[in-house]
Homo-oligomer: A and B are copies of this chain.
Amino acid sequence: MMRRTLENRNAQTKQLQTAVSNVEKHFGELCQIFAAYVRKTARLRDKADLLVNEINAYAATETPHLKLGLMNFADEFAKLQDYRQAEVERLEAKVVEPLKAYGTIVKMKRDDLKATFTARNREAKQLTQLERTRQRNPSDRHVIVGNRVVCQEMDPYSKPFYLFQFIHFLEKESKS
């Protein structure tokens, strides 16, 4: 019974580790490609600004009718570039920065998971020891219970509550 509980817990921890690795890999890729997309958009905006300047320069040398038409076109095209600038700023602030922040979050969660895993292993060893003590002297109940309480108090990570909290966090983050 105890062995099965331990195996279940280990499987759960491994599943979480896989989930964290998956998020780390894909969010990293997404962050890089989004950043490149933003840079390319910014370069397109710069090229379009050059085009606006050149159209205005050509318009200045032309007859009034053509000049007016060209300048109107340049004005509208310049407005499109203002929208493109807003797009660059928003993508930077609302997509690239949050994805970057995930780098740190994932690292923290990976450390937490490692600590949980270590604590779980330590607990398993201590439980095996307790089992041995119990087999050697089954009547010495107060020593066994006392040891068990000490084990759980030493390791905050070994509490099931901590794991539930973390699973809940991951689910909430992946939904948001």
Contacts and interface: CB of A to CB of B under 8 A. Distances in A.
Interface string A32-46: 011011001101100
Contacts of A174: 62-63, 66
Contacts of A27: 58
Chain A interface mostly helix, strand, loop or mixed? helix
Interface residues of A, number: 28
Chain copies in complex: 2
A43 B40 CA distance: 7
Interface stretch (A5-13, A48-56, A115-123, A152-160): A48-56
A37 B36 CA distance: 17
A30 to B, nearest CB: 6
A20 to B, nearest CB: 12
A61 interface: yes
